[in-house]
Chains A and B, each alone.
Chain A
């Protein structure tokens, strides 16, 4: 009997079974694919955080402690770690004599053992020469005007000067880490790396500084640099952070009193774990609505067969079936739905993960998500099928078995205005968030505990649910009076406008539910698309900030890229080119980067976002800079440190053509927070012409190129033009996206976007097409009756397309409007994801139009299918319904 029922179910209820299974498939696939994506993202964030660290641990020995004992302690605490002993010596200064004498202030000399760069290769970029002897930092070489082959004097402390021969010049990208103060408490103000430093082989260093260590032990330090075994790290940044921190504590306990630890790996994972929390928040913000939508779709599909279920159960009861028997049949239907849906969902997740995200879902770490998704699918199927079946079975009577319309009283939520209340709550939370500029994720540096302010979810959730309920209320209200509706459709529905309007009005509850579901789907699609487009736009701004422009050619003062400006500007694919100075200037004793620009034309080569400037107005700030040649923009920190007021004169010391630093008077004109190629800490923006005039050096070291999108082509062409410049570096946005600060930005959010957008389009198609098609199929009896009465196909059509048009148009309008608002809320609440924050949301018109097109096609498909049915002869239709 069970087998017969199952066969009948598949044969006669295939559409509904397939529809409900499709809803389960979407839900399961979304949970599985996004869950595995999150696991993979965490692993990739951990890997990226690990990759960014030049030296995992720096273990600095207390003078007089036993180096071997500390090394043994490191091995005990860190297992298979690799170690290298590095020497640091303070020097009073460096000097290079040619025709004139170039000298620097205090500096450091670092001794690196043989093979150091084999283990700790990150952060070194040899600009010229070799590593065989003394290698100068780029800035030091510029200060001394020295290069390979030159002999410089090192002013040792308490000893006679020593002479060393320069063999190379290096750009030490990881200078912040290598020269950090070890043993300072977490959160302490970061120490700037020295402006002057020399690297040399450890043997040479020991020859020079062992005597200094004996005289002045306070000026020489030894550090063990440790590379930990990364293979042993767990994939989750939070767990990895805790493991590495605890490992560090273990070492600290072992070497207490004899060494201090700088746990760089833990610090890097520290920032990655907040990104991981943001990833989880994004998953919830962007993925949860999709999952809820998949569940609602399943419920809507099963609910659309309520009429048929009542009749089926009525017949079963007439033929003597007991309640347990009816429930057994319903359970069978639920299990069949779940089996098809879960299998389909897992296959779809595997396909999408492979095609869209480029990874397999069959990983050990992803397995719990797959099992969880399958269980969710089973629960949803059981609830969606069994709950209405049980309700129908309990309340079934001959009278209500026929009931398909009913006279409804207003539901409780409408009487209590729950929709309005939810929208007010969303507005209040949004206002509070926007006003206070708070962070949803709190992961204080150096503190193991993290927190996510989940109450922030209330705003988008309240908005989403409130808007859907409002759509339901307004749709019902609009459809409650048949007369205006009849007049509205009169021109196209002609003779049948009155019965069509009456019929639609009588079914307003069901149609309004279709509008609300479609609005939810469009809301999900549009909010996801808008958020992701805004995010990607900001990631590009972030990359542009880091790189400077689409393509950036960075030379030196001696060999400035600006000399090639004309040739670079005329390269194919280049739409704008600007040369910019990159110098250094002393603000008091603080050496800062200085950028000399042409304020009125810099925007032709790179974006000048309002967020870069404290007053939020890029155009006004640059105009102010252009108006006064001596005007200068400085960072907030400088304004505070030096108590500057607008119009104040600031004397900065800049290197002149004689390679000496001379004071130059500038006028404080504004505050700059970020600028293309500028570091994240303090820097200065000035007029290039004024800098050139005051220093006597007109060189423009950097050229920024805006392209037509062909980054690699322009980069390659620029290489042929400027590649001959000594120490030149040519980079594009593509290079920058791999090194920008936020590991979350670096995660393949593009994959997540494609995944979500695919699901969004599928749910839009499901909400419009599937629910409509199944609903219309339920009304085949009415169409058969109308047809038998003499209705022609053209007279039946309005009964179908009017409903389709209402569901589509109502859903699309409500959904798109809601989606835009939700995206605005998400962008505001997730400010922490963006660096810099966006000025406005970005509307992805191609995607929105595609979503509309898919919804329209799905609606048209459902309507066309029903119209096809209408074209059958009345006798055929009557026979099918008997």
Chain B
């Protein structure tokens, strides 16, 4: 049996916040691991701690207790945008940049000026967005904007894509298209996915599912046919 390549490992991770002078635990003693090619749906009700967990895994936030490390990816400061990419629930495109400029942003941040145009166009083509390259975000529909976010998330070929309710603000059919495109890309590249969703139909498509309840994480492994 081959050893799994662990991308993320968390041990007894907690995250507390102060709210009105009172301590509030958003994530309570969670232990988890994410391996390469894992496709995990993170479910739970609003306020259950899903976004907190995603932020910690993406290196956007720091744990209050416990240990969190990225064995195959490196230090927290170097995770984004080369190894981990993030997508958000709300519109996440920079409004003053065109579609192609938005997609090229991670490459710009990495200093890959030479390949930026070629890689960006390839990413757009992959998700059927070539015609929209010179449009501004405000000229896109919600579904198109999320697909652009997807193109941007994948343009650096990251090993883990973290998405927080990526289909939360788009209609059902578009939602299916976006998730399908994301999983197709992950299948092709062997990248891992961690997708927070409150849509049970979306969650059902993922082979693995993690459940958040009042800040506590429980993992359920399952086999899911695509």
**CB within 8 Å of B: which residues of A?**
399, 402-407, 494-496, 498-499, 502-503, 506-507, 779, 782, 785-786, 788-792, 795, 873-875, 878, 882
Segment at the interface with A among B85-93, B125-133, B175-183, B195-203: B85-93
* Complex alpha-carbon distance, A873 and B77, angstroms: 12
Q: Is the CB of B60 within 8 A of A875?
A: yes
Given contacts A495-B111, A874-B60, contact A502 B106 (CB under 8 A): no
Q: Is the CB of A405 within 8 A of B60?
A: no
Segment at the interface with A among B4-12, B32-40, B94-102, B205-213: B94-102
Query: Which among B58, B82, B93, B113 is the interface contact of A498 at CB below 8 angstroms?
Result: B113
A and B contact pairs by CB, cutoff 8 A, 10 listed: A402-B138, A404-B95, A405-B95, A495-B111, A496-B108, A498-B101, A785-B93, A789-B85, A789-B152, A875-B61
Q: Is the CB of A791 within 8 A of B101?
A: no
- CB-CB under 8 A from A499, the residues of chain B are 94, 97, 101, 104-105, 108
- CB-CB under 8 A from A791, the residues of chain B are 109
Q: Is the CB of A790 within 8 A of B138?
A: no
Closest to A783 in B: B94
- CB-CB under 8 A from A405, the residues of chain B are 95-96, 136, 138
B80 within 8 Å of A (CB atoms): yes
Q: Is the CB of B109 within 8 A of A402?
A: no
Given contacts A402-B91, A790-B81, A882-B90, contact A782 B105 (CB under 8 A): no
Known: A495-B110, A496-B108, A790-B109. 9 other contacts (CB 8 A): A405-B136, A405-B138, A498-B113, A502-B98, A502-B101, A785-B93, A789-B109, A791-B109, A873-B60
Closest to A507 in B: B96
B55 within 8 Å of A (CB atoms): yes
B62 within 8 Å of A (CB atoms): yes
Query: Which among A494, A503, A790 is the interface contact of B97 at CB below 8 angstroms?
Result: A503
Query: Which among A786, A873, A878 is the interface contact of B94 at CB below 8 angstroms?
Result: A786
* Complex alpha-carbon distance, A782 and B96, angstroms: 9
Q: Is the CB of A873 within 8 A of B113?
A: no
Query: Which among B80, B93, B95, B116 is the interface contact of A790 at CB below 8 angstroms?
Result: B80
**CB within 8 Å of A: which residues of B?**
55, 58, 60-62, 79-82, 85-86, 88, 90-98, 101, 104-106, 108-111, 113, 116, 136-138, 152
Q: Is the CB of B96 within 8 A of A506?
A: yes
Main secondary structure of the interface of B (DSSP, over half): loop
Q: Is the CB of A495 within 8 A of B109?
A: yes
Given contacts A404-B95, A506-B96, A506-B97, contact A788 B138 (CB under 8 A): no
Which of A790, A791, A873, A878 has the largest count of B CB atoms less than 10 A from its CB?
A790
- CB-CB under 8 A from A494, the residues of chain B are 111
Q: Is the CB of B94 within 8 A of A785?
A: yes
Q: Is the CB of A878 within 8 A of B81?
A: no
Closest to A876 in B: B61
Q: Is the CB of A404 within 8 A of B96?
A: yes
Closest to A790 in B: B80
- CB-CB under 8 A from B90, the residues of chain A are 882
CB distance from B73 to the nearest CB of A (A): 13
Closest to A882 in B: B90
Q: Is the CB of B96 within 8 A of A407?
A: no
Query: Which among B55, B60, B86, B108 is the interface contact of A495 at CB below 8 angstroms?
Result: B108
Q: Is the CB of A788 within 8 A of B94?
A: no
- CB-CB under 8 A from B60, the residues of chain A are 788, 873-875, 878
Q: Is the CB of A404 within 8 A of B138?
A: yes
CB distance from B54 to the nearest CB of A (A): 10
Q: Is the CB of B136 within 8 A of A407?
A: yes
CB distance from B40 to the nearest CB of A (A): 20
CB distance from B90 to the nearest CB of A (A): 7
- CB-CB under 8 A from A786, the residues of chain B are 94, 105, 109
Which of B60, B82, B108, B152 has the largest count of A CB atoms less than 10 A from its CB?
B108
- CB-CB under 8 A from A790, the residues of chain B are 79-82, 106, 109
- CB-CB under 8 A from A498, the residues of chain B are 101, 104, 108, 113, 116
Closest to B141 in A: A399
CB distance from B117 to the nearest CB of A (A): 10
- CB-CB under 8 A from A407, the residues of chain B are 136
* Complex alpha-carbon distance, A786 and B105, angstroms: 8
Q: Is the CB of A782 within 8 A of B94?
A: yes
* Complex alpha-carbon distance, A874 and B109, angstroms: 15
**A-B pairs, 9 with minimum CB distance:** A790-B80, A790-B81, A875-B61, A495-B111, A503-B96, A506-B96, A874-B60, A875-B55, A875-B60
CB distance from A669 to the nearest CB of B (A): 72
- CB-CB under 8 A from B109, the residues of chain A are 495-496, 786, 789-792, 795
Closest to B98 in A: A502
Closest to B54 in A: A875
CB distance from A557 to the nearest CB of B (A): 83
Closest to B55 in A: A875
- CB-CB under 8 A from A502, the residues of chain B are 96-98, 101
* Complex alpha-carbon distance, A790 and B110, angstroms: 9
* Complex alpha-carbon distance, A435 and B13, angstroms: 83
* Complex alpha-carbon distance, A22 and B218, angstroms: 54
CB distance from A875 to the nearest CB of B (A): 4
- CB-CB under 8 A from B108, the residues of chain A are 495-496, 498-499
* Complex alpha-carbon distance, A436 and B59, angstroms: 74
- CB-CB under 8 A from B101, the residues of chain A are 498-499, 502
- CB-CB under 8 A from B82, the residues of chain A are 790
CB distance from B151 to the nearest CB of A (A): 13
Q: Is the CB of A788 within 8 A of B86?
A: yes
Given contacts A402-B138, A873-B62, contact A789 B106 (CB under 8 A): yes
Query: Which among B85, B94, B138 is the interface contact of A503 at CB below 8 angstroms?
Result: B94
- CB-CB under 8 A from A507, the residues of chain B are 96
Q: Is the CB of A789 within 8 A of B86?
A: yes
- CB-CB under 8 A from B116, the residues of chain A are 498
Closest to B111 in A: A495
* Complex alpha-carbon distance, A494 and B92, angstroms: 24
* Complex alpha-carbon distance, A785 and B104, angstroms: 14
Closest to A504 in B: B96
* Complex alpha-carbon distance, A406 and B101, angstroms: 16
- CB-CB under 8 A from A878, the residues of chain B are 55, 60, 88
CB distance from B55 to the nearest CB of A (A): 5
- CB-CB under 8 A from B98, the residues of chain A are 502
Which of B86, B88, B109 has the largest count of A CB atoms less than 10 A from its CB?
B109
Query: Which among A403, A495, A779, A785 is the interface contact of B138 at CB below 8 angstroms?
Result: A403
- CB-CB under 8 A from B93, the residues of chain A are 785
CB distance from B158 to the nearest CB of A (A): 10
CB distance from B99 to the nearest CB of A (A): 12
CB distance from B76 to the nearest CB of A (A): 11
- CB-CB under 8 A from B91, the residues of chain A are 402
- CB-CB under 8 A from B113, the residues of chain A are 495, 498
- CB-CB under 8 A from A792, the residues of chain B are 109
- CB-CB under 8 A from B94, the residues of chain A are 499, 503, 782, 785-786
* Complex alpha-carbon distance, A158 and B137, angstroms: 108
* Complex alpha-carbon distance, A791 and B80, angstroms: 8
- CB-CB under 8 A from A495, the residues of chain B are 108-111, 113
CB distance from A503 to the nearest CB of B (A): 4
- CB-CB under 8 A from B86, the residues of chain A are 788-789
CB distance from B107 to the nearest CB of A (A): 9
* Complex alpha-carbon distance, A788 and B89, angstroms: 13
CB distance from A507 to the nearest CB of B (A): 6
CB distance from B29 to the nearest CB of A (A): 20
- CB-CB under 8 A from A875, the residues of chain B are 55, 60-61
* Complex alpha-carbon distance, A494 and B138, angstroms: 28
Closest to A498 in B: B108
- CB-CB under 8 A from A785, the residues of chain B are 88, 92-94
- CB-CB under 8 A from A873, the residues of chain B are 60-62
* Complex alpha-carbon distance, A768 and B225, angstroms: 60
Which of B86, B110, B152 has the largest count of A CB atoms less than 10 A from its CB?
B86
* Complex alpha-carbon distance, A496 and B106, angstroms: 10
* Complex alpha-carbon distance, A502 and B97, angstroms: 7
CB distance from A700 to the nearest CB of B (A): 77
Closest to A506 in B: B96
* Complex alpha-carbon distance, A719 and B73, angstroms: 90
